[in-house]
Structure 1
Amino acid sequence: MTFLVFFSGGLLNAQKPVLQFKHLDIRDGFSDNRISQVVQDKNGIIWAATRLGINRYDGEKVSAYPLNNSAEIYDLKIIGVDNILIATSKGLYTYHKKRDRFELFSVETDDNTRNIFNKGVFSISSSNSYDFWMAGGKGKFYSVREDQKIYSYSAPQLNKSFSNTNIISLSEDTRGRLWLGTNNGEVWVFNPQTKKLIPLEEINNSYPINDIVVDNLNQLWVATNGNGVYKYNLESKSLIHYTATAKRGESINNNVVLCIYEGNNQRIYIGTDGGGINLFEPEKDHFTYFKQEVGEWGLSDNSILCLARGMHNVIFGGTVHGGISYFEDRINVYNISPQQLEFDTDKQGSKILEDAEANLWITAGRNGLRRYNPETGEVTVFIDNKNNSSDLAGDIVLSMKEDNKGRIWIGTLRGGLNIYDTNLKKLLQFSEQENLRSIYAIEEASGENMWVGTANGVVVFNDQLHIIKRINTDKGLSNNGITSIYKDVKGVMWVGTEKGLNILSKEGEQLQSFYTSKKDTTSLSGNHILCINEGPDLSVYVGTYGFGLNRYSRRYKNFERIGEQEGLHGKIVRGILVDNERSLWLSTNLGLSRIKSDTINSFGIQEGIPPFHGGNASLSKTGRIYFAGNDGLSYFEPETLQRDASQPRVFFTSFKVVEEKGARDLDPTAVFNNEQAYKLKLQPGYNLLTANFSSSNYFDLDDTEYFYKLEGLNNQWHALNKRKSLTFSNLAPGEYRLHISAKNGTGQLSLQEANIQFQVLPSFWQRWEIQAFLLLLTGLLILFLANWRNRNIRKQRDNFKKIVAIRTKEVEKEKDRAYKNELELLETERQNEQLKQKRLSDELRFKTEELTNSTLRTVHKNNLLVEIKEDFILEAKKNVVHKQLFENIVEKIDDSLTIDTEWEQFYTLFNQVNPGFIPGLKEETSSLTDRELRLCALIKLNFPSQQIATLFGISLSSIKVARHRLRKKLKIEEGTSFEIFFKSKGF
């Protein structure tokens, strides 16, 4: 067994808060990557100072504002609501909205006071309301009031010990005192009430003071240009000097400090020239360093020129070479580096097990297993030494479980099953341990048995480490590839496989299996199961590979699918856990998703939560959530990880209007600044408007979802998803107001919406006065046409009456002639029809007589044959010598009686007389024989039974029997004659 044990120096020094940075630079349109100052105004617009002037960024494009005389910019501040001030080497500049440019600051006062704004200004500090302070050269500083009163102060006059130097930094504290930092390293405090200027003698420094901040703990932070940082407690008068010579974590990492900013929870962010951002957390009295990193989320440059708060908890940092790096000022996630855990660069995510002694067992991808003690920072490394058969078998650990005896069961991909006894502090040897493969799941069942899920089904061990049962497809499992095992509150075992979900009793008997079905939306969403857990309501949650989450209802015995439509963005769910607040946490391919009160919130890279590739998050006994991977071990307290509930402000970035002369782009700054009640007007026939917009929350800018409604058309909000552009065309003339809003972190629409009023002008023909005139003209024309038409109608009616009278007489004469001709024609046709009917009747009578005669001849012939037959029969009895001869003659006579030749002739004549009779009988009763059809035909001709018997060559009694059978086949009711039946059927 190989153990590599080392200490990380304790958890406090090992952990590092996670900050994720985003960036803006020349690739986004900025003039330069050197950003000396940056602010965000109330609308969400970013203003950045470069060596080429001011850049304005609205989330879509950058607008450049060069300053006169190539002034060097020292400071940039927003005073009051939206008064943008710039301190430069050539004076104080301010932004004029109507002219959309920066101009020298001016007030209505005497020339001597006005000249102060034309000189070098090094720093600006906001005061109460719209007032501000500004610092100049040679010890000059000024207070500018909202009422345009200006108070000028000279430090050398206020205190003669003040050397003739420049004040390059200043800051007003909550008590109204002004702190001044000079170019020669001195710190002074000025009391506006007493007009006293006093040096802070405790600070012995000769380096320029780059920044001064008084924090909420009443501590003065002083940034020097080479002598580190001073922290001076204004109450206790104690002083701490932080320099780069101290031990790591106990002080700053670079002595050139360019800026200081106080964030949330008294955190102090320190920008250095080469050491990146140093973070001081007062409750831990510890420094953390954030330096330039390769990748999307690292700091872009190690030289930080400025730090300033933006909206939505964002802090912007201007750098020397990396543009703007910005991050959210909330630290939820802490990290222990992969180097401290001896992790390599394997991208495989980790699984974490907290044992009974609060040690964390962490899988290390393809590099074995780690045991980490959060209290001491002690790390134990378990790896597979091929030359040592008693150490960890298999470097790729897939699953872990601690049993009730304090033994850690460790499943690997190819090395089999390992069991580490925490009491004996060694790996145990047992039979069959190397014969198991792909152990993705281990669970303790009732009765101290351990279920081990392998590639060949479930293997059940007893507490003596003997295999007592194997459960596979032969025992009813849906598949042998076991991916997860879970024991619910009833002791029932849920077994997930690569092809379906199974419920088994604790004895291993198959109870039920579940599969996905395209036709049944209450079935599983996918068959590849990755994880199983019970929720707060005892519903069973099932995570799948590629098909999201399923919730099994014990009451209704079906599944509810939870996917992207319900707000779950990740499709691969690798882990499910329930925290102490009864919230559900899902480890997905996009990060962590929390389900609380049926609301789903997702947390990803920008909150410090990476995607889960093979691993999953774990809940500690204290309620802390851990996760690990190639970035090391990270953790957070669930209640601290919240979505930003602030209201993102939406603002327009540009408009495009199509007019007769072509497309015209409108700058929203010019649109809204020219007039307070500005109304955009669209020309008739060219009413096409495109509006582009953005959000003030730059950290979530790419994931912001927008909504719009257009008053004048409808008052309903419509989703735009992540689209930041909207076009309207062919709108009817009228007044409209366009509203754009965005969702905040909690999924609600922000109240800080953008809106603009515009008017679609009517064309010449759409103007109401023109339409009224046309309507009146149309009415007069209709009235004139109606009168003219009525006169013509009356005249035509009189002429028509005369013509009708004449035509009526002519028509009556023609009708008389036509009537007579028609009568004659009808009479002729009647006579012809009578002749035709007579001819047909005669023809029918003839054929009927011919049929009857033919039949009678046949009857007569048959009678003769019968008489001859009887004579020969008598002779045969009398004359024994010729008996055989007479019997042969009788047989020939019988044959002649059955010959069908006469019947064929009979049928020919009968069908001519009764063409539909035989086919109708066959359709009525298809089982009639040919002899029965002949019988029906003879009955139809009213032949008596005796003659029918003669024709058939049978006795009269046989004919009666044949008629009886025929009635039954034809289903003729009793009392109904054949003639009536044939007539009723239309034969």
Structure 2
Amino acid sequence: MFFNGIFTKINALFNSYNLDFLKILFLQILFFFSTVSYAQKPVLQFKHLDMSDGFSDNRINRVVQDNNGIIWTATRFGINRYDGEKVSKYALANTKVIYDLKVIGVDGILVATDKGLYSYHKESDRFENYNAEKEESTKSIFTQNIFSISNSNSQNFWIGGSAGNFHYVREDQKNYSFNALDLNASFPNTNIVSIFENQDGGLWLGTSNGEVWNFNLKTKKITPLNGLDNASAINDILVDSLNQLWVASYGNGLYKYDLKSDSLVHYKANAKNGESINNNIVLDLYEGNKQRIFIGTDGGGINLYDPEKNRFTYFKQKSGEWGLSDNSILCFGKGMHNMIFAGTVHGGISYFKDHTNVYNVSPRQLGFGTDKQSSQILEDTEANLWITAGRNGLRKYNTGTGNVEIFIDDKENNSDLGGDIVLSMEEDNKGRIWIGTLRGGLNVYDRNLKKFLIFPEKKNLRSIYVIEKGPNDNIWVGTANGIIVFNEQLDIVKRVNTLTCEGLSDNRITSIYRDAKDEMWVGTENGLNILSGKGKFLRNFSFSKDDIKSLSGNHILSINEGPDLSVYVGTYGFGLNRYSRRGDNFERIGEQEGLQGKIVRGILIDKQKNIWLSTNLGLSRIKDSIIRNFGIQEGIPPFHGGKASLSKSGRIYFAGNEGLSYFKPESLEQDIPKPLVFFTSFKIVEEEGSREINPAVFLNNQESDILKLQPGYSLFTVNFSSSNYFDLEDTEYFYKLEGLNNQWHSLNKRKSLTFSNLAPGDYTLHIAARNDTGELSQQEANIQIKVLPSFFQRKVIQALMLLLIGLMIFFLVRWRNRNIIKQRDKFKKIVAIRTKEVEKEKDRAYKNELELLETERQNELLKQKRLSDELNFKTEELTNSTLRTVHKNNLLVEIKENFIAEGKKDSQNKEFFKNIVEKIEDSLTIDTEWKQFYSIFNQVHAGFIPSLKEEAPSLTDRELRLCALIKLNFPSQQIATLFGISLNSIKVARHRLRKKLNMEEGSSFEDFFEAKGL
């Protein structure tokens, strides 16, 4: 931070005077010195708990997490219990100082104080003086000064007291007390303030005057640790998994004693950075994963010793959400899910995940400023990393030596980097680095010549967002005004834009990718395109609101080809898309599928063929179709403008204002949390009022511990939490209530559940949390619930009531049956009398009905006769009318023939006779008689003509007349006369009519009309 601050101020000073050359020189000198202290620091992200969460004090002397997930702390004002929802406070009677706090066995909590030993009783929810119910002679040891408790995972434990006294407490057996002065006269008359039990049963004792002793339980001998030149009090003792004894002193640094080789190393805060601790007051020790030792200091923060590198790294107080809250670390406590809790003097609890899989090169070493834009990273063929530095140029970082080379724009020098805002980079086949900037043009750096090349288009381009290698060793440069394709000689061979390439969706090029078929996928701000290797447009894709198999958005940021040759496309604000070549469609991958970030700036495929996405919320991994998100709590910040990069060694790199960070993808496999869910409170609202029950009494789920709900309760509320405090806000919960519904129901992130009006009976409530794999954790919380019935809901009462009701129904039925019999006899007599009267009335009505029916029959016969006469009249009238028409037409025909004959004889009046013949022919075609014919015909044969039209819609009016005459059985000769045509024409008309009616061969019109119901 010191160098970083100097760099920021000097940079501003030089910029104000436009002294770019001096700025470059200063930066190079600065980085010469900074790389001397080159180090890669593991990343720890801290979360915090303090008085704002309800704790009694920000000074946390001891902190532990028990096996149920509860956090216990020792403060100056007593014990605090935190369950993720609230803090419960416990005062210890007559105590002034709490020295130690430990979890013993499965769920035992022990507290060492100046007034003896206390233990937590869950039944009464309070701390009481420890009483092992042994003989009276040993009870006094639990009421004296107790300074330390051993880290034993069994029910048995060691405690250290004053004046050399220490004791071994065995559950339900005899206690053993020892005095170090009696065992060895050389033991000083001092307090045993630290005690640690080896895995082999050996016991190490640390004293208040700075000595360390070893006690052998089998031989009952106690011996000092020789060579420990120390007069400061011992704060903590730890024997690690490498069989090394660590001793923390109050002012004289840290000791490491190898129990195998009997070698001693003394670490003090006067060595070079990384070779020792940074503060000599060491307050607590903790062994984490991979044999790393966490060292709590008073003022130096957390020191971390890595045995593999034999180096120390330091984590000090840092402002912000994820920094260490205080530099004075009083204690460490082991948590679930690889968590470590650190109690501080002024900052409450800072807790973090002990994965340290992400390593960091500080921004000071890289010369990064405070610009929060993420970096673009390119690994060249010599394994150097080229890293963009926001608005401050470019860095070349040697991962082996830590050396940094700086490239910034000197406005007076045309042969250096043009433009300080670098947007894109690519290495060509000659090992040259192509560098695209926002406003400084296109740069090509020759690593062999160690200089930037001069070419015609160097300064002409702007907003170069992407550079990609294309076929034939060409370089495709994507800008805000289309694509420019360069060859190896730095000549432009093609320009691709909406004017030269018909079909290209937009000129604002945001991403380019060369696939396995040498086709170029081009992403723009307005859609996705595919071009040939020669720049010819092939096709494009865009978003459609009516097609869920289209792109989710048109603003494309990243493209990459998956292991199965499907193409992954990242968008700005609309998540990820997977293009299937076989189905020729897109699958949208977003929040519903588990992807948290909506802005996908980069897509990587690691060596295990997992897909990594650089998003606005961090990194997301797709493995076996399961998405897992990694964010700031894993040491991975959001990506703003930049993206992660995959090295040839398989590391994933990313950079920004926090420096350069990296990790191995496989190192994150072990960090899948499996949260333990536990109840925090039960609240029952009843008629008498509400009551709250401590869930601790139900942890064993014994029959006597069943939660009982009294009759008439109105509400039952359950509160719960998760043991994974690091992801507490993002934990999703599910529940099922056996006895009501055996299906799991989602509660999202809600940590409370309320029931009402449950029917009497037995239930079991299950609460589970979902881990990062998307599966429900098997470590669920459950509680047996018994809803008691009311007085009338009890089975005995209900049985008696059923019996009473049954008897009442029985007697009621018997009484009713007797009344029915009496009434039946009475009714029989009345019925007999009424029957005779009814029979008389029936006979009289029958006779009247017969007379009425006869009258109606006579009326019906008269009506039928009248209708028959009317029909005959109409038929006769129709026939007569038709015959008159026939007779008239015959006369007209005869007259016409006479006039024709006279016309032939009398040539002088031939024209006169011709006119008369034409008028006669016109008279034969007049339809007046036919209208009268139809009027009478429809009265006789109603419905014939409409039905015939429906049967054969194509019939002409003349054909309908023909059908009517046939229906009236007129002979063909008379029909010919009526139509004024020859008999042969009638035959032809009848033949055509048969075809239109689709009549079968040989059938008559009469049969056809009858078959059709006409």
Instruction: Give the TM-score normalised by the residue count of structure 1.
Output: 0.89
1:153 is the counterpart of 2:143 = no
Which amino acid letter does the alignment assign opposite residue 26 of structure 1? M
Match of 2:59 among 9, 15, 34: 34
Check 1:919–1:736 CA distance in 2 against 1; reply closer, same or farther (3 A cut).
Answer: closer
Distance 2:689 2:303 in 1: 54
Instruction: Name the structure 2 match of 1:740.
Output: 767
Tell which deviates more after alignment, 680-689 or 110-119: 110-119
1:669 is the counterpart of 2:696 = yes
Where does 1:558-577 land on structure 2 (aligned, <5 Å)?
561-577=588-604
Check 1:675–1:489 CA distance in 2 against 1; reply closer, same or farther (3 A cut).
Answer: closer
Distance 2:107 2:985 in 1: 124
Distance 1:82 1:867 in 2: 133
Instruction: Name the structure 1 match of 2:706.
Output: 679
1:623 is the counterpart of 2:650 = yes
1:305 is the counterpart of 2:317 = no
Distance 1:195 1:926 in 2: 124
1:319 is the counterpart of 2:344 = yes
Q: Secondary structure at the match of 1:326?
A: strand
Where does 1:808-847 land on structure 2 (aligned, <5 Å)?
808-847=835-874
Check 1:516–1:178 CA distance in 2 against 1; reply closer, same or farther (3 A cut).
Answer: same
Shift of 1:943: 4.5
Instruction: Name the structure 2 match of 1:379.
Output: 404
Instruction: Name the structure 2 match of 1:391.
Output: 416
1:362 is the counterpart of 2:387 = yes
1:768 is the counterpart of 2:806 = no
Shift of 1:281: 1.9
Superposed CA offset, 1:745-776 (max 9, x none)? 65555454333223222222332222333343
1:267 is the counterpart of 2:292 = yes
List alignment gaps of at least 5 residues for structure 2: 1-19
Alignment check: 8 A CA contact 1:8 1:378 kept: no
Superposed CA offset, 1:948-971 (max 9, x none)? 555555555555555555555555
Where does 1:588-603 land on structure 2 (aligned, <5 Å)?
588-603=615-630
Distance 1:189 1:894 in 2: 148
List alignment gaps of at least 5 residues for structure 1: none
1:427 is the counterpart of 2:452 = yes
Superposed CA offset, 1:453-507 (max 9, x none)? 4445544333223333445563555555444333344544444444555555544
Shift of 1:236: 5.3
Check 1:690–1:828 CA distance in 2 against 1; reply closer, same or farther (3 A cut).
Answer: same
Check 1:602–1:806 CA distance in 2 against 1; reply closer, same or farther (3 A cut).
Answer: same
Shift of 1:835: 1.9
Shift of 1:666: 0.8
Distance 1:937 1:200 in 2: 136
Check 1:543–1:813 CA distance in 2 against 1; reply closer, same or farther (3 A cut).
Answer: same
Distance 1:470 1:523 in 2: 29
Q: Secondary structure at the match of 2:38?
A: helix
Alignment check: 8 A CA contact 1:482 1:496 kept: yes
Shift of 1:333: 0.7
Shift of 1:41: 1.7
Alignment check: 8 A CA contact 1:644 1:746 kept: no
Cα RMSD between the aligned structures? 3.8
Distance 2:666 2:1010 in 1: 96
Instruction: Name the structure 2 match of 1:276.
Output: 301
Instruction: Name the structure 1 match of 2:77.
Output: 52
Where does 1:541-580 land on structure 2 (aligned, <5 Å)?
541-552=568-579, 561-580=588-607
Distance 2:704 2:78 in 1: 31
Superposed CA offset, 1:250-287 (max 9, x none)? 33333333323232333222222222212222322322
Q: Secondary structure at the match of 1:389?
A: coil
Distance 1:779 1:969 in 2: 82
Which amino acid letter does the alignment assign opposite residue 94 of structure 1? S
Tell which deviates more after alignment, 87-96 or 606-615: 87-96
Tell which deviates more after alignment, 63-72 or 42-51: 63-72
Check 1:758–1:812 CA distance in 2 against 1; reply closer, same or farther (3 A cut).
Answer: same
Distance 1:354 1:490 in 2: 24
Shift of 1:192: 5.9
Superposed CA offset, 1:673-713 (max 9, x none)? 99883222112343753322222222232333444444444
Instruction: Name the structure 2 match of 1:640.
Output: 667
Match of 2:435 among 385, 406, 410: 410
Where does 1:496-575 land on structure 2 (aligned, <5 Å)?
496-508=523-535, 513=540, 527-552=554-579, 561-575=588-602
Distance 1:972 1:170 in 2: 118
1:257 is the counterpart of 2:277 = no
Alignment check: 8 A CA contact 1:569 1:590 kept: yes
1:608 is the counterpart of 2:635 = yes
Shift of 1:87: 2.7
Distance 1:443 1:290 in 2: 40
Check 1:953–1:709 CA distance in 2 against 1; reply closer, same or farther (3 A cut).
Answer: closer
Distance 1:320 1:872 in 2: 143
Distance 2:812 2:448 in 1: 113
Alignment check: 8 A CA contact 2:762 2:787 kept: yes
Which amino acid letter does the alignment assign opposite residue 64 of structure 2? V
Distance 1:625 1:935 in 2: 97
Shift of 1:621: 1.7
Alignment check: 8 A CA contact 1:343 1:630 kept: yes
Instruction: Name the structure 2 match of 1:86.
Output: 111
Where does 1:208-219 land on structure 2 (aligned, <5 Å)?
208-219=233-244
Distance 2:802 2:478 in 1: 86
Shift of 1:834: 2.2
Number of matched residues?
986
Alignment check: 8 A CA contact 1:643 1:745 kept: no
Match of 1:76 among 101, 105, 114: 101
Which amino acid letter does the alignment assign opposite residue 590 of structure 1? L
Alignment check: 8 A CA contact 1:643 1:746 kept: no
Check 1:519–1:804 CA distance in 2 against 1; reply closer, same or farther (3 A cut).
Answer: farther
Shift of 1:436: 4.5
Shift of 1:71: 1.2
Shift of 1:119: 4.1
Alignment check: 8 A CA contact 2:165 2:177 kept: no
Shift of 1:354: 0.7
Shift of 1:19: 0.5
Distance 1:899 1:752 in 2: 104
Q: Secondary structure at the match of 2:704?
A: coil
Shift of 1:407: 1.4
1:700 is the counterpart of 2:727 = yes
Distance 1:53 1:128 in 2: 24
Distance 1:751 1:851 in 2: 99
Distance 2:802 2:686 in 1: 29
Distance 2:289 2:396 in 1: 34
Match of 2:87 among 55, 62, 78: 62
Alignment check: 8 A CA contact 2:104 2:153 kept: no
Which amino acid letter does the alignment assign opposite residue 684 of structure 2? V
Which amino acid letter does the alignment assign opposite residue 640 of structure 1? S
Distance 2:537 2:36 in 1: 47
Shift of 1:46: 1.1
Tell which deviates more after alignment, 912-921 or 373-382: 912-921
Distance 2:824 2:71 in 1: 85
Check 1:93–1:673 CA distance in 2 against 1; reply closer, same or farther (3 A cut).
Answer: farther
Match of 2:45 among 2, 8, 20: 20
Check 1:880–1:103 CA distance in 2 against 1; reply closer, same or farther (3 A cut).
Answer: closer
Distance 2:154 2:420 in 1: 64
Alignment check: 8 A CA contact 1:54 1:64 kept: yes
Alignment check: 8 A CA contact 2:37 2:273 kept: no
Superposed CA offset, 1:585-643 (max 9, x none)? 33333322334444443322222122233322222122222111221110112222224
Shift of 1:903: 4.2
Alignment check: 8 A CA contact 2:627 2:773 kept: no
